[in-house]
Structure 1
Amino acid sequence: MATNHTTGASIADVADLPFVSTSESGRNFWCVSPSGDYQKDYDAGRRFGNSFIEAARRRAITPFVLQLIIAAFPSELTPVEFGFLSQVSMGVAA
């Protein structure tokens, strides 16, 4: 089972990813709040990317959810999104 790199919890479903939130109104595939500290935000994005990669590799989630995650990004990307995309790109290349 994949691990949430933020909480250490097991990822059994897309809702367990540290950046996904679920409410009565539906699921938000990118629920993050940048801190304003570039390096901390970039590092957080990389951790989120690692959680996604590990969950996809272990088949806890389908890799096709990536399109939903990216579609939920803000129109102006922050270091969190840059870190996530960087980590996922490196994971694909590995």
Structure 2
Amino acid sequence: MSETMTSSTIPAQQPVSSYASLPFVAPRHRPRKGQLPRNFWSVKASGDYEIDCETGEAYALLFLAAEAEANSGTMLEGVVSDMPRDADFTGLELGFITMIGFAAQAGAGRAREVSAYWARCEAERKAAAAKGRAK
């Protein structure tokens, strides 16, 4: 894990070469059955809630930059599944989720476009299959 970052101490679009280079991603030394060999949320709270929220926001901005560069699906599910639950939830998680939420709001129109595209592709696939059966 790297030193504490805040949203004011990193550039919003800092280049990230891969998910593995994110400061909150680390190897998982003994993955249990069903776990990936990488822990996508390897963090330690500072104990200062405000700083932890800012650090979580900074991590989200880095994650979003990595997502923009990725040529694959999102790794958000990996991050969220490795986050703690209930009482162990800290400002790190709150800051991260809040910033991801703002990004989702900003990109809601684009998400609807992608969903509509997927629906068209599925309809075309079904039409082609039906046409193939009709021959």
Residue 60 (structure 2) aligned to one of 40, 45, 49: 49
Residue of structure 2 in register with 1:79 after alignment:
91
CA RMSD of aligned residues (A): 2.3
Residue of structure 1 in register with 2:76 after alignment:
66
TM-score (norm 1): 0.80
Aligned equivalents of 1:80, 1:86: Cα separation in 2: 10
Residue 18 (structure 1) aligned to one of 20, 23, 28: 23
Specify whether residues 28 and 92 from structure 1 end up closer, same or farther in structure 2 by C-alpha distance, changes over 3 A only.
same
Aligned equivalents of 2:100, 2:55: Cα separation in 1: 13
Residues 21 and 28 in structure 1, CA contact (< 8 A), matched pair in contact too: yes
Aligned equivalents of 1:90, 1:84: Cα separation in 2: 10
Residue of structure 2 in register with 1:93 after alignment:
105
Q: How many residues are treated as equivalent by the alignment?
A: 88
Q: Cα distance, 1:60 vs. partner?
A: 3.0
Specify whether residues 80 and 15 from structure 1 end up closer, same or farther in structure 2 by C-alpha distance, changes over 3 A only.
same
**Structure with the higher strand share, 1 or 2:** 1
Residues 55 and 61 in structure 1, CA contact (< 8 A), matched pair in contact too: no
Q: Could you report, residue by residue, the CA deviation over 1:46-74 in whole angstroms, capped at 9, with x for unpaired residues?
A: 000000111112x2364521001000001
Aligned equivalents of 1:18, 1:45: Cα separation in 2: 11
**Structure with the higher helix share, 1 or 2:** 2
Which protein shows a greater Rg? 2
Partner amino acid for 1:60? A
* Higher mean displacement: 25-34 or 45-54: 25-34
- Higher RCO structure, 1 or 2 (CA under 8 Å, sep 6+): 1
